[in-house]
Amino acid sequence: MAAATAGGLRQPSVLPGFGLTLGITLTYLSLIVLVPLAALVASAAGLGWDGFWKSVLQPRVLAAFQISLATALVAALVNAVFGLVVAWVLVRYDFPGKKLVDAIVDLPFALPTAVAGIALTGLYAPNGWVGGMLASLGIKVAFTPIGITIALIFIGLPFVVRMVEPVLQDFEAEQEEAAGMLGAGRLATFVRVILPAILPALLTGFAMAFARALGEYGSVIFIAGNLPMVSEIVPLLIVIRLEQYDYGGAAAVATMMLGVSFALLLVINLLQQWVRSRHGS
Amino acid sequence: MALDAFFGPAAAPARPVRSEPRLVRGVLIGTALAFLAIFLVLPLAVVFAQAFAGGVQAWLDSLVEPDALAAIRLTLMAAAIAVPLNLVFGVAAAWCIARFEFRGKSLLTTLIDLPFSVSPVIAGLIYVLLFGLNGWLGPWLRDHDIQIVFALPGIVLATIFVTFPFVARELIPLMQEQGAEEEEAAIMLGASGWQTFRRVTLPKIRWGLLYGVLLCNARAMGEFGAVSVVSGHIRGETNTMPLHVEILYNEYNMVAAFAVASLLALLALVTLVVKSLLEWRYAGELAASRRH
């Protein structure tokens, strides 16, 4: 079935509509996504090789990349740890209100980022509910990279939970029982038997949360304070260059960022193949 | 709190060897709930607390004020154009990808998901570079008196881009799982292609379709980054609801900012409720990854 007929572009089928639907798909995809993205790369290329690197290697741009990468990484790590705990609790234990808890995990996908941004800022500002408490301990969250990280934890939260949940659900009880019978403690069973089985899904969720965090804009700009070299993220720098009518400069930074995103997309696709090869669905 | 009521008989282990001591269970459940409370419930509570900080009347006043109404209208209009277009595209893409075997299919599937890996800011930027005054088509558009960027068409384009994959990625796995046998039978028995789609395929995918449209709409109405880049921020004209929230917030008009934000938060909550209902009631008619 899977092998294509010799020389043919597609396998024969009695169903109609292939040409029409493929035509709509390719036209729409090209107009909305591919041509505009090509225009972006062409605009960056318009700067020439030297101009491009001169634009991208400025200290302010490099600092923004450093801040974006570091905060996204820390946020994805926090989400990997706590997302695993949440997925574990939702799959393995019963407690009142479990369905509600399960439903609310998707809140970051549904809540507009600007709303999340002002809510988190209100919460963590020095006069906010949590910010006030932390301020008395001498910890400043809003308008620092810690604030950025908190916003990124929020928007990346569902990825690890939703990737790990189904794999944990399908995990065969026999392996775990065998480990237990053979004398392994629960912790040893978890580390040696369960963790290796869910690792591909965990890494995929981690990479997805990281990728999403890297490009995030709306929830971050309110809480970040946006100080150049300190708490300015890459997407904001693109907007600033655009507002200064530096189209080439904006395109250069955006192209650089697109390169990082596509590399991550490739990693995620490879990880997902690994998940599928392990769990055969 | 009575711990027994909390971790009572429901948590009794089915197999002793597969469960943890009660203390470990309690700590894990407590950690998970605390994490979700701090990062999800608390921000949501702040939105509503701040929105009603000045009373119900102040909340209502912030929503019926002309600029707020204009923003609500623009958001509804942008979503009303973007969502149906993505719906038609999603159905077309799912039909050709899930019902036919052809070369380059996996590449096409990857390309459809591409907008999810692009930063929203870049999604806005690409249209400014194409249609902006100094963009590739800028001079031609100006000569013909067509405005795309800083106007409704640009806002719609940016919204379409960020919500591009939602319907397609919901329908493709669902239709692949369902298989083509029923459609093939209908065609062999003499139904036309359109009849087959309407009478056979559509009833099978309607809940998946609704699920995709629901998520697509939530993102379309809530999008901030991409729309912010192409909007131009003209009060009462090119401000969508999320952009209006930003303007009010930057003017330190907290009650009004959180009032409009609370409306968006309400939309998010309704979306979550309908989504959960679909997952519980029609699990068998959604793609496998959505079943709980």
**Whether residue A108 sits in one domain with residue A22:** no
| Mean pLDDT value of segment B260-265 | 97
Question: What confidence score (pLDDT) does residue A176 get?
Answer: 85
Judge: A115–B268 Cβ closer than 8 Å, yes or no: yes
**Whether residue A263 sits in one domain with residue A128:** yes
Chain mean pLDDT for chain B: 91
**Whether residue A125 sits in one domain with residue A58:** yes
Residues of A in contact with B264 (CB under 8 A): 111-112, 114-115
* Rounded distance between C-alpha atoms, residue A15 and residue B102, angstroms: 14
**Whether residue A28 sits in one domain with residue A151:** no
Q: Which domain holds residue A256?
A: 49-279
Instruction: Tell me whether residue A275 is in a domain.
Output: yes
Question: What confidence score (pLDDT) does residue A175 get?
Answer: 83
pLDDT band at A7 (very low <50, low <70, confident <90, very high): very low
Judge: A261–B115 Cβ closer than 8 Å, yes or no: no
Instruction: Tell me whether residue A101 is in a domain.
Output: yes
| Mean pLDDT value of segment A255-273 | 91
Residues of B in contact with A104 (CB under 8 A): 36, 40-41, 272
Residues of A in contact with B10 (CB under 8 A): 94-96
Indicate the residue of B11, B188, B280 with minimum beta-carbon distance to A95: B11
Indicate the residue of A88, A94, A258 with minimum beta-carbon distance to B118: A258
Closest listed residue to residue A213, CA positions, set A151, A142, A124, A123: A151
- Give me the half-sphere count of Cα atoms (radius 13 Å) on the Cβ side of residue B89: 26
Residue A184, pLDDT > 90, answer no
Indicate the residue of B129, B228, B272 with minimum beta-carbon distance to A107: B272
Q: Are B177 and B287 in contact, with CB atoms under 8 Å apart?
A: yes
| Mean pLDDT value of segment A257-269 | 92
**Whether residue A85 sits in one domain with residue A29:** no
A158 close contact with B: CB closer than 8 A: no
Domain count, chain A: 2
Instruction: Tell me whether residue A232 is in a domain.
Output: yes
- Amino acid code (one letter) for A253: V
**Whether residue A153 sits in one domain with residue A275:** yes
* Rounded distance between C-alpha atoms, residue A107 and residue B269, angstroms: 8
B229 close contact with A: CB closer than 8 A: yes
Q: How far is B45 from chain A (nearest CA, A)?
A: 9
**Whether residue A131 sits in one domain with residue A213:** yes
Judge: A247–B223 Cβ closer than 8 Å, yes or no: no
**Whether residue A191 sits in one domain with residue A60:** yes
Instruction: Tell me whether residue A5 is in a domain.
Output: no
pLDDT band at B201 (very low <50, low <70, confident <90, very high): very high
Tokens 């029923």 found at = B182
Residue A4, pLDDT > 50, answer no
pTM listed for this prediction: 0.91
Give the distance from CA B171 to its chain's centroid.
Answer: 15
Residue A223, pLDDT > 70, answer yes
Question: What confidence score (pLDDT) does residue B232 get?
Answer: 84
Question: What confidence score (pLDDT) does residue A280 get?
Answer: 57
- What torsion do the CA atoms of B181, B186, B187, B189 make, to the nearest 10 degrees? 120
Question: What confidence score (pLDDT) does residue B16 get?
Answer: 59
* Interface list for A 238-277 with B (CB within 8 A): 238-239, 242, 245, 247, 250-251, 254, 257-258, 261-262, 264-265, 269
**Whether residue A135 sits in one domain with residue A30:** no
Instruction: Tell me whether residue A9 is in a domain.
Output: no
B223 close contact with A: CB closer than 8 A: yes
Question: What confidence score (pLDDT) does residue B41 get?
Answer: 96
Give percent above pLDDT 90 in chain B.
83
pLDDT band at B14 (very low <50, low <70, confident <90, very high): very low
The pLDDT tens digits for A9-68 are: 788 888 999 999 999 999 999 999 999 999 999 999 999 999 999 999 999 999 999 999
Residue B4, pLDDT > 50, answer no
Residue B122, pLDDT > 90, answer yes
Helix H or strand E segment including A211 = helix A195-215
Instruction: Tell me whether residue A69 is in a domain.
Output: yes
pLDDT band at B234 (very low <50, low <70, confident <90, very high): confident
State the complex-level ipTM.
0.91
The pLDDT tens digits for A114-157 are: 999 999 999 999 988 999 899 899 899 988 999 999 999 999 99
Instruction: Tell me whether residue A99 is in a domain.
Output: yes
**Whether residue A39 sits in one domain with residue A89:** no
Q: Are B141 and B228 in contact, with CB atoms under 8 Å apart?
A: no
pLDDT band at A1 (very low <50, low <70, confident <90, very high): very low
> Where does a domain end: A45, A64, A84?
A45
Judge: B119–A214 Cβ closer than 8 Å, yes or no: yes
Residues of B in contact with A42 (CB under 8 A): 136
**Whether residue A257 sits in one domain with residue A134:** yes
Q: How far is A239 from chain B (nearest CA, A)?
A: 7
The pLDDT tens digits for A77-123 are: 999 999 999 999 999 999 999 999 999 999 999 999 999 999 999 99
- For every residue of B65-88, DSSP letters joined together read SHHHHHHHHHHHHHHHHHHHHHHH
**Whether residue A53 sits in one domain with residue A68:** yes
pLDDT band at A179 (very low <50, low <70, confident <90, very high): confident
Q: How far is B6 from chain A (nearest CA, A)?
A: 7
Instruction: Tell me whether residue A10 is in a domain.
Output: no
The pLDDT tens digits for B50-75 are: 999 989 999 999 999 999 999 999 99
Helix H or strand E segment including B64 = helix B55-64
* CATH number for the domain harbouring residue A273: 1.10.3720.10
